[in-house]
Amino acid sequence: MYKRLCPDLRVASIYEIDLEKLWARGIRGVLFDLDNTLIEWDNNRPAPEMMKWIREVRKRGFQVCLLSNNSVDRVQEIALRLEVPFFAPARKPFLRVFRQALGSMGLSPEATAMVGDQMFTDILGGNRLGMYTIWVHPLSSKEFIGTRVTRLLEKAVLRQLVAKGLLKSER
């Protein structure tokens, strides 16, 4: 149970992700969560720095795709600006849309990373399929009310993962 919630990697932000290491691991595609991973939940202006970084990821040969539980309208607007394909609403952690995204990229789960800020959607879904999962610290503490509740559960699971030696306590 806990292992399914344990990310393979934990980072403070997307910019800490080592793209060379990811490539060396055999990863060729990256699915990104949107809200509080790439952009603040209550913001619809992508940061220039983030857009530049996503361009860099693609330039290095990775396929990139957005996988968001938010509405089509919200996700489409940002996906268009980033010039990347998207799936929304993805209903993570259910696997159907994860599989659709993998199918569209023509990649296996093992060759794909899932990057997101939520343990119970992004990390759980990615782990269930055997993807490489990267847990990022949320960009903003402003969140959908339901998410604030799951953050409490995340904290409890995090304590267990640290106690079991599966994850380090610091980011």
Residue 36 vs 112, nearer CB to Mg ion: 36
Residues 27-56 contacting Mg ion, CB under 5 A: 33, 35-37
Residue 28 vs 68, nearer CB to Mg ion: 68
| Cα 69 to Cα 88: distance, rounded to the nearest angstrom | 6
Residues 127-156 contacting Mg ion, CB under 5 A: none
Half-sphere exposure of 46 (CA within 13 A, CB side): 21
* Tokens found for residue 124: 């759980």
| Cα 136 to Cα 132: distance, rounded to the nearest angstrom | 13
Least distance (Å) between residue 69 CB and Mg ion: 8
CB atoms within 10 A of CB 36: 23
What is the end-to-end Cα distance of the chain in Å, rounded?
22
Stretch that binds Mg ion, among 26-34, 55-63, 76-84, 101-109 (CB under 5 A): 26-34
Residue 34 vs 161, nearer CB to Mg ion: 34
Residue 9 vs 108, nearer CB to Mg ion: 9
Site string for Mg ion, 62-101 (x = CB under 5 A): ----------------------------------------
Least distance (Å) between residue 145 CB and Mg ion: 14
Distances (CA, A) of 165 to 119, 130, 155, 161: 17, 20, 15, 6
Q: Is 36 in contact with 57 (CB distance < 8 Å)? A: no
Task: Write the DSSP symbol of residue 60.
Answer: T
117 is an interface residue for Mg ion by CB under 5 A: yes
Residue 33 vs 154, nearer CB to Mg ion: 33
Element (H, E) at 170: none
Size of the site for Mg ion (CB under 5 A): 5
Stretch that binds Mg ion, among 11-19, 84-92, 109-117, 150-158 (CB under 5 A): 109-117
Question: What is the binding site for Mg ion (CB under 5 A)?
Answer: 33, 35-37, 117
